[in-house]
A and B are shown apart, each in its own frame.
Chain A
Amino acid sequence: MRFFKLGIALILTVLVFFVLNTKLGSIPPMGKFLNPVSGVWQNDSEEIITGNLSIDGLLDVVTVHYDSILIPHIFAQNDSDLYRAQGYITAKHRLWQMEFQTFAAAGRLSEIIGEKALEYDQQQRRRGMIFGAENALIKMKEDPETYKFMEAYRDGVNSYINQLDTNDLPVEYKLLDYKPELWSSEKTALLLMYMTKMLAGGDSDLEYTNALHLFGKERFDLLFPDFYGELDPVIPEDTNWDFITTEITATPEHKIPRDSISETIDKPHPNNGSNNWAVAAEKSASGNAILANDPHLGLNLPSIWFVMQLQTPEHNAMGATLPGALGVISGFNNHISWGVTNATRDVLDWYKIEFKDASRQQYKYGNGWKNTRVRVENIKINGAETLQDSVIYTHYGPVTYDKNFKGNGEKIGYAMKWTGHIGGNNQLPFLQLNKAKTYEDYENALKNYTAPAQNFAFASTSGDVALWIQGLFPNKWKGQGKFLMDGSNPENEWQSFIPQQFNAHVKNPERGFISSANQHPVDETYPFYVFNDGYETYRNRVINDFFRNKEKISVEDFKSLQNNNFNLKASELLPNIFEHMDVTGLTSEEKEIYNQIKAWDFYSEIDQLAPSIWDLWWEKLYDQVWDEFENDDLALDTPFIYQTIYLLKNNPEDQFMDIVSTPETETAKDLFLITFKASAKELLDWKAKNGNYNWSEYKGTFTGHLLQALPAFSRFDIPIGGDYNTVNAASKNHGPSWRMIVEMSTPPRALGIYPGGQSGNPGSKYYDNFIDDWAAGNYHELLFMQDNTTNSQIMATQTLTPKQ
């Protein structure tokens, strides 16, 4: 009996221990997670930002001042200490995020969150993300100085990781029950690949190929023109290109393969983009050049950006950093300021590969065969067996699609050729920008930058402004890479790259300002082949018109422009709708909604009803116009917004306006009415459930935690106006991820804000404390310290000393 009782007690104890110590599904190990000594309760606190820390490998003392919004101002005696301290301090506030993003880049999320990430991970592997990072790292190592700083950064991160106790681990590790790995320079390369994929990892070649075969060339060209009528390109239209002495590649004999592809890999968010602009001294109200930047990215917590000041006796830079990369990415120093927007271009092409036989060891090339190589990707899965995926590589790049993955049979594959794979030292240009003093320094810094191609805006204390569209761009023949290419024909290769000095750029244009908003980089007179890569057509025109219509521009104007919610898109279509739509049959409820939108001034402000009506109506109208594109057997991309509106207005009776599923033949004005009625119904339903459909409530902008927007760590219903085509490009979960304005006085005065907070800890009051001000269009005056003496705006100081 005694033994029986003992046995029961033992089993019970073991059971309780097991249940409380083990992660069960998505439930964290409750004993481990909730115990006050080392569990989540320990995260209900702020980071310690005072006192002394001794850090391995420092050469000299480093001082870190924190201002009232937790921006660290790092003062080091040399570059190596500076980047070591940057690594340490970034990890201190953002460790989980910086590691998670590199896991995402490398296709390793299944290791953390299990099988639900497998499809994503497999795509990342087949995209060659690690392959690209490895190639980048080779280039980085070729420059011993860059690599030395990357190692210092790495060691700084690791000094932080090594001193962590279990109770100090960021809450996400406790929740998912795992531990951080040590940082490596490859992880920095992976983070830059993460950005490259986000900003230059999209294309529509296979979708276009399908559309071309489905609709024919004439119809395709109508839907997807290379250029639109109204461009207002990044580089002003009157630019003289005579300095370009390289010719465009001659178009060879070639045929587009007749293949069709039913499913393609995920694309980056279509709204990834940005604004930047600068006015030169003569157009500035104060006489100082002014520069602004606001990258539009997914709205996540912890925020993608971390603001820092980085100073040594030789240089002093401040601005937004990317946790995991060195230096400031979008910012300023005492001499220059710079900001980046995405310069999307078709830098990703697909080649059809014909394997010799089922062994896939060789593929056809010219008159012979070339050898493949295999890269075995081991995808570890939390809670399941490791998946091995053998990815075949050709000289173009990875064969993403094949018999094992969304492909077309045993002997056929589709290989990706991408500038992201070529490798480049894209860390160095930012380190050089941080130190740049003149236009020439800026120009030199950009020379070797390859990807993701960016519009680098520049302004200086000398009053100059400039913009280089910088990246590695293949010199394509006209039409090259718009569709799938035959990989066995050597003539289809990228034959050369546009020489760097012939990349489009502008310095001190006559109009007194430069700007970019992801629109067409150049007009048709640029000698190299550029075609529509999904270019924006609204923000750019609002921005440029704003500058053209005002003689002198102030910082206040910059603020108001960054927060401008004028909906040019709506203003270009709605008057046409009001003119043609037959409203006689509307019910009284519908009529009320119709009158609401008819009275609209086209500003998408939070307290208005009309922007909600427009948003829904446009979505339905767009889908209805392109119902021909709903096809389960073919991957297709619908035409761009600008062309859709153009066709609605100019070709209202085009065959595409017809709704395929009805016997009648519809025209544009029928679609207006049908979609309006459907929208009205949905809005009334929404209203019955949620109250009035004010734009703010209806849109429901949110910033989601990186773990699939875990509600507890996310912020919902943020009151911000605009939509994805307004200058204030705030849509539901995407928008201005960092707003910066810098006036190039001596010293420069800067404003900045982003939708998050400096701390990565959801339990910190600095986790999301910028969001309300960001939504309201307010800014923080950034404290740009000129020397290492504390002042009233400094709330704490920490000293990092070399470990003896």
Chain B
Amino acid sequence: MKPARKKRLFFIIFLITGIAVAAGFALYAFNQNLMFYFSPSEVKQGKAPVNKLFRMGGMVVEGTFKKEKNTLKVFFDITDYEKTVTVEYTGLLPDLFREGQGIISRGKLNSDGIFVAEEVLAKHDENYMPPEVAESLKKAKK
């Protein structure tokens, strides 16, 4: 092989290896960071992992919202009208959070079966229902 060609071959191999490493790396990160969605029913059926981040959505049950005095900790139940899971959250709630509203929260299930949320999302539209929530409500009704 001519030296110039050899060089070019090395270069191409180097480039392809680089892309392969990057791709493998991206896929690994991808697998590590996939976050699944579960409805309260699925959580109660034990389908959701304990101590691993996932998302859960549903309606905030009327009359269950409680604030802890002197801290920012709050508790509320969310439901798909089939099963209900208690959520614990510390911090500022989104503008549109209220009882009877559909929300999505991201967090981990602790050993007591309480969902400890890191983030609570409510949508910026009065009529809006997160599609995941709408679907789990539909499923639960069947």
Report if A and B associate in a common complex. no
Chain B positions near chain A (C-beta within 8 angstroms): none
